[in-house]
Structure 1
Amino acid sequence: MYRDPVESLEPLHSRPALNRTLRVGMIGIGTVGSGTFRVLVRNQADIAARAGRAIELVVVAARNLGRAAGIVGERVALTADPMQVATHPDVDVVVEVAGGTGPARDWVLAAIAHGKHVVTANKALLAVHGAEIFAAARKQGVAVAYEGAVAVSIPIVKALREGLAANRIEWVAGIINGTTNFILSKMRDEGLDFAAALAQAQALGYAEADPSFDIEGIDAAHKLSLLAANAFGMPLRFADVQVEGITALQGLDVACAEQLGYRIKLLGVARRQADGVELRVQPSLVPADHLMAHVKGSMNAVMVKSDAAGLTMYYGAGAGSEQTASAVIADLVDVARLDGVNAAQHVPHLGVHEHATNALAVLPRAAVHTSHYLRVPVRAVSQIQAVTACLAEQKVPVRQVALAAERPGVGPQVLVLTAPVEQGTLDLAVHALQARSEVAGAVATLCVELLEG
């Protein structure tokens, strides 16, 4: 019923070496894989013109061969064995869009060992096994491209490597998870609590049945580790990212932030400091008049501060079949242009200095220096001075103090915005506040990111 993927393809040595079709093998034909096939077929003439040669999907590995045949038809060979695609002698580049970090690692490493370029949208794979994969690719002289793994339709990897190549990057900050941004938008716009907003996201297909990677901030941390590597020339440091999701975020804090002139977004922040790099994923207050505050729904946005270009911002879809396919095919076009060019130079694996002895350290949580929002429940409105006095004793600089607007069933709340202060100092101050008799409940804290030039 299906063509044998090993015997059905014309041997590469029988085709012209220059300008021949770039032959692609793909592992996975789900949401991203099917979108990639559709766009490749629909826009084949434009893609070939931009790549300098045709790009053709010739073999696909899929769990469900019948479903796969319904997508790609008879023109593409099918196999149930991903390793057959990874090692196929007549495939130039392997596209891995199956996901996961175990078997996917083996397929990608096998493809590299057989001299094939790799394109992937699998951020978890690269965050966990990237160091091994990029080292293997560099040794083999092949490219590993992964634009679709970072911000879906936003070409942020290309912007950092090429558009901002002349710059020293100072910081990168972004909304890089569409699911959490959708949830936070619903909490603000419709006054929903977290559970109701999550249920709506799941009903509309924005969140998985198990949304843990999204709502706990892990997906954003995967992506942030890749952004930081490209921005600062540092090794992948996913394990060192400070990660806080949105599961504990209360609708009350969304409303209080709005009262103070801010909106809450789950931000990934990579910032260069004198003694290291901050790597943080956290729900944070952003000024309501800032462009980042107006990124709604499942959209993504990334802002970069660099020394020559200044502030630049990149905006686009944070999810979607063809949106991710756009990035995957852009990587294929880059690979198609590699004839006669060193792959490691033309499409750098990361642009990192793997053997550098002066690699930037990741700052511990206590050393991160930012402004903060505090919501302090008190027993009486008159106790606002007790809160400010305690913060002064703990050497926390206060920039603004207000009382939260009255809400049914909610006691008085003191709202505080601090000037920049080390996280360790703020933690001690919160501990001291919790011990005060005037404080009537748990103190809520969030970072404040002004995202200024």
Structure 2
Amino acid sequence: MATPPTDVRVALLGAGTVGAQVVRLLAERADDLAARAGAPLRLVGIAVSDADKEREPWIPRDLLTTDAEGLVRRADVVVELIGGIDPPRALVHAALEAGASVVTGNKALLAAHGPELHDAAAAADVDLYYEAAVAGAIPIVYALRESLAGDTVTEVLGIVNGTTNYVLDEMVTNGLGFDDAVAQAQALGFAEADPTADVDGHDSAAKAALLASLAFHTRVPLETVPVEGIRSITAEEMTAAQDHGWALKLLAVARRTGSPEGISVRVGPTLVPADHPLASVRGAFNAVVVESEAAGRLMFYGQGAGGAPTASAVLSDLVAAAGHVVGGGRAPRESAYADLAPLPPERQKVTAWFDLDIEDRPGMLSMVAAVLARHGISIEAVRQAAHAEPTAYGDELYDVFDDAYDGASPARATAADRESTTLSITTHRTDEATLAACLAELAESDGVRAVLPVRRVEGV
């Protein structure tokens, strides 16, 4: 039997916000971490691009090096916190080939090249851990990969980007415009100088691909995830959604489908009912709701970004990987046996909410109902915007809604017609292609002035 090592050699790639906190916590909690791993964790080097740059006072200057490739070849565990694809991809491969386990928080790298890295780790018989890649301190990777390994996950809904959640929260809570809310997030350190990856949804899409891969035991390529960001959202839209009993969030949505069998994964602004668990997630926090057949609904909530919270997730993985160096064993291997097909965007099933700005005259409700019915779309709910004076429609038109949609009709009115009115419609689930065709026909219909922003709905 091999003699256990006297210590575990740790190489750190990157000394930014998260990396600096990893260094601090390794020093402050050395005794506890050693007890948990089975041997001391010895930091043997910190790879940086500029060794002369001023850094936090607790970072040992004698450990800084610009030779990242040389560093990874003299470690038992490599912690990669550089971010991006290159050079991390080559460095992670070099570490795995040298027999070192890898801990990374790099969701972009994993979303783009996860399969090849999993294969390389398996070939080298070492660990690949990445809890910090999704939702900061929230242990969602562990939950899906290990805690729910005996269950069948059917759905994952998540607020997985703290920047966008903070921006949207400020827009609805304080009435800020999009640009002002982003500027405030940057001033507070919640957003990067270039917030494109966050506000355009690309960060969330990478995390959605990872979550779906874990939840459904299927490799989900990043390019199969349709993405919409939050740039088009206004404070007025946020307020209107709230007035209708919704909260608008940027959600990563992953769902197992039955007919046809496959998975649906997307990222975009999504409405949830005000009483849904995700509706109350404020500020820069993250939350993920998991639905499974046996366990039912589980919710994971916490800080999704920041140096110390993310470093907590890194250290959790580091202790696990170090424990395997000391005592043997391996992390769970990639589970991709299900091989479910990601549905193309046009075939994904969605529930939608949209407003119709229509002429306020007899026959309009009947026309709208007929168009929806012609496309096979049923209505969950319909609401007419309030007017100073109620709008008059004949009983016959309300009977159309009552018959077709189980009584889900607007309140009857008795006053004279007004020039225009707004119908807010929530559909039952339909596919994206059918919804698009229906909306296109409505937009061209006589008496319809505009189809206002269409939002997907979850939790109804």
Compared CA separation, residues 350 and 68, structure 1 to 2 (3 A): farther
Q: Give, in angstroms, the shift of residue 67 of structure 1.
A: 3.5
Does the residue aligned with 2:142 lie in a helix, a strand or coil? helix
Gaps of 5+ in 2: 389-419
Native 8 Å contact 1:173 1:302 kept in 2: yes
Match of 2:155 in 1: 171
Is 1:132 the counterpart of 2:116? The answer is yes
Native 8 Å contact 1:60 1:76 kept in 2: no
Q: Which amino acid aligns with 2:440?
A: H
Gaps of 5+ in 1: 1-15
Native 8 Å contact 1:62 1:68 kept in 2: no
Is 1:199 the counterpart of 2:183? The answer is yes
Is 1:434 the counterpart of 2:411? The answer is no
Distance 1:26 1:403 in 2: 59
| More deviation, 266-275/64-73 | 64-73
Match of 2:40 in 1: 54
Q: Matched residues, percent identical?
A: 40
Is 1:373 the counterpart of 2:353? The answer is yes
Superposition pairs for residues 293-372 of structure 1, below 5 Å? Answer: 293-339=279-325, 346-353=330-337, 359-372=339-352
Match of 1:396 in 2: 377
Q: Which amino acid aligns with 1:46?
A: D
Superposition pairs for residues 65-144 of structure 1, below 5 Å? Answer: 65-67=51-53, 70-74=56-60, 77-88=63-74, 91-144=75-128
Distance 1:379 1:30 in 2: 57
Distance 1:57 1:255 in 2: 50
Distance 1:312 1:76 in 2: 46
Q: Give, in angstroms, the shift of residue 171 of structure 1.
A: 1.2
Q: TM-score, normalised by structure 2?
A: 0.87
Q: Give, in angstroms, the shift of residue 261 of structure 1.
A: 1.2
Superposition pairs for residues 234-253 of structure 1, below 5 Å? Answer: 234-253=218-237
Match among 428, 431, 446 for residue 422 of structure 1: 431
Q: Which amino acid aligns with 2:454?
A: T
Q: Max radius of gyration: which structure?
A: 2
Is 1:270 the counterpart of 2:266? The answer is no
Match of 2:397 in 1: none
Q: Give, in angstroms, the shift of residue 197 of structure 1.
A: 1.8
Q: Give, in angstroms, the shift of residue 442 of structure 1.
A: 4.4
Q: Give, in angstroms, the shift of residue 19 of structure 1.
A: 5.0
Distance 2:54 2:333 in 1: 30
Does the residue aligned with 1:64 lie in a helix, a strand or coil? coil
Distance 1:312 1:385 in 2: 42
Compared CA separation, residues 113 and 19, structure 1 to 2 (3 A): closer
CA RMSD, Structure 1 to Structure 2 (Å): 2.1
Match of 2:14 in 1: 28
Match among 451, 456, 460 for residue 447 of structure 1: 456
Compared CA separation, residues 141 and 436, structure 1 to 2 (3 A): same
Compared CA separation, residues 349 and 124, structure 1 to 2 (3 A): farther
Does the residue aligned with 2:449 lie in a helix, a strand or coil? coil
Cα deviation 1:113-165 (Å, max 9, x = unaligned): 11111111010011111111111111111111100001110011111122222
Q: Give, in angstroms, the shift of residue 388 of structure 1.
A: 3.5
Distance 1:187 1:365 in 2: 29
Cα deviation 1:29-62 (Å, max 9, x = unaligned): 0111001111111222222222222212220111
Q: Which amino acid aligns with 1:42?
A: E
Q: Give, in angstroms, the shift of residue 443 of structure 1.
A: 3.0
Match of 2:395 in 1: none
Q: Give, in angstroms, the shift of residue 340 of structure 1.
A: 7.0
Q: Which amino acid aligns with 1:219?
A: D
Match of 1:281 in 2: 267
Native 8 Å contact 1:229 1:350 kept in 2: no
Cα deviation 1:42-90 (Å, max 9, x = unaligned): 22222222222221222011122134665445475221122122223xx
Native 8 Å contact 1:47 1:54 kept in 2: yes
